[in-house]
Amino acid sequence: ETGVTQSPTHLIKTRGQQVTLRCSSQSGHNTVSWYQQALGQGPQFIFQYYREEENGRGNFPPRFSGLQFPNYSSELNVNALELDDSALYLCASTSDIRGRPTEAFFGQGTRLTVV
Amino acid sequence: AQKITQTQPGMFVQEKEAVTLDCTYDTSDPSYGLFWYKQPSSGEMIFLIYQGSYDQQNATEGRYSLNFQKARKSANLVISASQLGDSAMYFCAMREAGQTGANNLFFGTGTRLTVIP
């Protein structure tokens, strides 16, 4: 196991609703990234948090937002859910943000279904 | 241009045989890392192996080795002595050191490996 935990594991929401997904990063890791993986695709980078601030964002609209807490855990919030938001949402933690790229450890993901 | 290209949507290998999964990448950043992840049907992304752009030797982790050809911008994964439990999706990914500080991973579209008994 990687030590990265996500909750909940599965979720069903109605179009237009809001959702919050949670991630607890691996001990000692100060950077958390979120990815969206649509069915049959590779994960797509949503955004990254370092020291409680967003530090990079992929091609996702502002209704995707996040938080990082002092203990490095993180939340992903999605407002005004759309059917296309149905996907596996993965959280990854790494130990550093500068210098050599380091390995990222992923949680088991949250599978979100929007109906 | 795609940052990561995996041209094999699906691969089959006989149990106990070796298999190579292809990955090519595109970057102008001199400092980058290349990763391979395994994703079983359960969904979790399992880290397999990492190769840094400045690493002199090809990375190896048990039955996994990475055939890193920098000039060709390829980073193929070699799995030796395939096991039935190796059946899964395999993703190649890259992280660039970059200028902004955000070193997110770029993923390919994956290769589905099926190990045949």
Tens-place pLDDT, residues A50-64:
888 998 899 999 999
- Given a cut of 90, whether residue A22 has pLDDT beyond it is yes
Number of Cβ atoms within 10 Å of the Cβ of B83: 11
Question: pLDDT (tens digit, 9 = 90+) per residue, A57-94?
Answer: 999 999 999 999 988 899 999 999 999 999 999 999 88
Give the per-residue pLDDT at A112.
98
Give Cα B17 to chain centroid, integer Å: 18
Strands A10-13 and A110-114: parallel
One-letter amino acid at B87 equals: S
At residue A43, does pLDDT exceed 80? Answer: yes
A residues 28-47 near B, CB within 8 Å?
A: 33, 35, 41-45
| Most A-contacting residue of B8, B91, B105 (CB-CB within 10 A), to test interface | B105
- On the CB side of B44, CA atoms within 13 Å amount to 14
Contact B44, A106 (CB under 8 A): yes
Q: Please state the φ and ψ torsions of residue A24, each to the nearest 5 degrees.
A: -110, 120
Six token digits for residue B7: 């041209």
Q: How far apart are CA B85 and CA B10, in angstroms?
A: 16
Most confident segment among A23-27, A57-61, B12-16: B12-16
